[in-house]
Structure 1
Amino acid sequence: MENISQFFKLLKNNKGKIFVMFVSAVIFIFVLFPFDDLSDLVTSQVAKLSNNTVYVSFERLKMSLFPTPGVKMDQVFIESIRTPALSASELTITPSVSGMLAQKPYGHVSAKGFLKGNVDLSMSKGQRSDNGVERQRIEVSAKKIALHDLRELANLPVILKGQLNLETTALADLTFQEQPDMDIDLTINQFELPPSNVNTPMGPLTLPDLKLSTVELKGRLAAGQFIIETGTIGKPGDELQGTIKGKIGLTINNRGGMFTHQVGAYDFSIDLKAKKSFQDRAALFLSFIDGFKTPTAEGSQYKFKVSATNPMMPPSIGAAR
């Protein structure tokens, strides 16, 4: 008991020295420590942990303690054997203290200059599923993402241009034992589709060039189905404008750490208004839905339904009710 009393008395008598020592340690760790020299160490450790499949490099690294602990890296460059090279002008990682204590990947990540835009991602504890599976709440906000760069990352077969904005909130089991629940609000401004050819179940199809002021899509992913609640294509004045509603099967699978997606049956109701200039340029493309055409003052209106049990099967096209 006497030793404990002496210990606290020692702390009281030397509290000034202890405070100075603590402040000095913080200044050294967070201000004076040469974090920039850690770039090679981080690169080698990431490569080692990923079996030489991922390489990360950066120019500057800073750590902060207030208002929350975090790490900021400038001019980040990531190479992977599975994706094209990625870069960001600034990457900030702010882990959650409660997440670290629970050994969960909770926190906030902000990437500026990613795909020529900005992305914010946060992860926290989410509601368990009806089957009792633990899920995480994931929120993603993306602004002014270059559609051309995103197309290369996703390896899409056609060239796309425009700026994408995305707001999404998901409840997901990171092992994907169950399919996630997700709300999606997506907008593409100044959308452009240059002339291109794509392979379809009916053979190669030539797509005409198309420019739209905007494309808006609101929907949700639930039980392996992506449901489009409202979809708006173009605006008044565009060569093509209209609406789309429906659903498509979309499941995400975890195959030994490799995540893949599978597209299933779909059923869409589409209402399009095309100006004469677009009709002339897209005559072959529009010939598939010519039977559902109604003449208008500026061109034609097409109202139809398209569905299939499998994306590799020829679709069934019928009149919309």
Structure 2
Amino acid sequence: MENISKFFKWLKENKGKLFVMVVSAFIFLFVLFPFDDLSDLISSQVAKVTNNAVYVQFDRLKMSLIPQPGVQMDHVYIESIRTPALSAQELVITPSITGLIQQKPYGSVSAKGLLKGDVNVSIGKGNRSDNGVERHRIEVSAKKVALNDIREFANLPVLLKGQLNLETTALADLTFQEQPDVEINLTINQFELPPANVNTPMGPLTVPELKLSSIELKGRLAAGRLVIESGTIGKPGDELQGTVKGDIGLTIVNRGGAFGQQIGAYNFDIDLRAKKSFQDKAGLFLTFIDNFKSPTADGAQYKFKLSASNPMMPPSFGAAR
């Protein structure tokens, strides 16, 4: 007890010195420490950990305490052997204190200028599945992401233009022992599809030019199926507008640490209204659904069902209910 009393007495007598020491340490760590010099070290460590599969470079690194501890990197460049290069004007990584204590990947990542938009990802604790598998709650928000940049990143065969906004909330096991549960809200503004030839199970198909004010989809991914609960294509005044509902098999698989997807059977109910100007330039494309056409004052309405047992089989067309 005597030693404890002496210790607290010493703390009381030297509290001013201790305060100065702590403040000085924080100033050195967060203001004066040359974090920018760590760029090469971090790049080499990332390359080492990933067996030279990922290369990271940035111009500036700094730490922050408010509103919570985090790391900010400016002008980030990420290159991978499996995907095209990515860049962001600013990348902020904010780990969760609870996650660090529990050794869980909790926290948030914010990227400005990623695919010309802003993307935020947060990971927290989620409810266990019915089988007792631990799941994480993952929230993703993307604003004004360029479709053309997504096309290049995903190596899609057709040109796409527009801005994508996305809000999703998922409960997922990060090893994907079980399929995730995901709520999806997606909007694409000023969508443009230039004329293109697309390979389909029925052979090459000429896709006409298409411009839409917006595309809005709301749905969920559960038990390996993506269900589109409501979909709106275009707006009044567009050459093409309509609605779509249905579902498609979509299973996420873990192939030794590399994640992929398997697409299965699909079934969609589609209701489209096309103006005469779109009919004139999309005549060949519309012949597949000509049996489901009803004339309108300024064009035609097409109501049909589109389905197939797998994406490699030619689809079947039927009358919508």
Instruction: Using structure 1 for the length normalisation, give the TM-score.
Output: 0.99
Q: What stretches of structure 1 of length at least 5 have no aligned partner?
A: none
**2:282 corresponding residue in structure 1:** 282
CA separation in 1, counterparts of 2:24 and 2:205?
68
What is the alpha-carbon distance in structure 2 between the residues aligned to residue 313 and residue 81 of structure 1? 32
Correspondence 1:18-33 to 2 at 5 A: 18-33=18-33
Q: How does 1:18-57 map to 2 (within 5 A)?
A: 18-57=18-57
Equivalences for 1:44-123 in 2 at 5 Å? 44-123=44-123
Cα distance, 1:197 vs. partner?
1.0
- Match for residue 195 of structure 1? 195
Corresponding letter in the other structure for 1:192: E
**Residue of structure 2 equivalent to 1:268:** 268
Corresponding position: 1:176 with 2:172: no
* Structure 2 letter corresponding to 1:100: L
Residue in 1 that maps onto 2:250 = 250
- CA shift, 1:67, in A, is 2.2
1:8, distance to aligned residue in structure 2 (A): 2.0
- CA–CA distance in structure 2, aligned partners of residues 72 and 19 of structure 1: 27
Residue 156 of structure 2 aligns with which residue? 156
Determine the structure 1 residue equivalent to 2:132.
132
**Runs of 5+ in structure 2 lacking a partner?**
none
Aligned length: 321
Q: Aligned-pair distance for 1:4?
A: 2.6
Question: For 2:103 and 2:198, how far apart are their aligned partners in 1?
Answer: 46
Partners of 1:303 and 1:3 in 2: how far apart?
Answer: 86
Equivalents in 2 of 1:196, 1:228: separation in Å?
A: 26
Partner Cα separation in structure 1 for residue 202 and residue 30 of structure 2: 62
CA offset at residue 295 of structure 1?
0.6
User: How many Å separate the matches in 2 of 1:305 and 1:2?
Assistant: 86
Mapped to 1, the partners of 2:134 and 2:208 lie a distance apart of 46
Partner-residue secondary structure (3-state), 2:67 = coil
1:293 and 1:257 mapped to 2: Cα distance?
Answer: 48
Q: Deviations over 1:133-167 (max 9, x none)?
A: 00000001100000000111112121110000000
Q: Give the partner amino acid of 1:244.
A: V
Q: CA deviation at 1:12?
A: 1.6
Any idea what the Cα deviations from partners look like across 1:66-92, whole Å, max 9, x if unmatched? 221000111011111111110000111
Matched residue SS, 1:22? helix
Amino acid of the residue matched to residue 202 of structure 2? M
* CA–CA distance in structure 2, aligned partners of residues 67 and 200 of structure 1: 51
Query: What is the root-mean-square deviation in Å for CA atoms of aligned residues?
Result: 0.7
**AA partner of residue 125 (structure 1):** K
